[in-house]
Amino acid sequence: MSKQAAKAGMSIGEAIRTRRGALRLSQRDLAYAAGTTAAAVSHIERGARNLSAGLLVRIADALQCSADDLLNGVAAATEASPHLRQVAAAMKGFPAPFQKEVADFCEYLKHRSRKGKR
Report whether 107 contacts 94 (CB < 8 A): no
Superfamily of segment(s) 3-117: lambda repressor-like DNA-binding domains (1.10.260.40)
pLDDT tens readout for residues 63-115: 888 888 888 764 444 444 666 667 776 777 777 677 777 777 777 777 666 55
Report whether 56 contacts 84 (CB < 8 A): no
Handedness of CA 49, 53, 96, 29 (dihedral sign): negative
DSSP conformational letter for 92: T
Domain boundaries, the chain: 3-117
Q: What is the rounded average pLDDT for all residues in the chain? A: 77
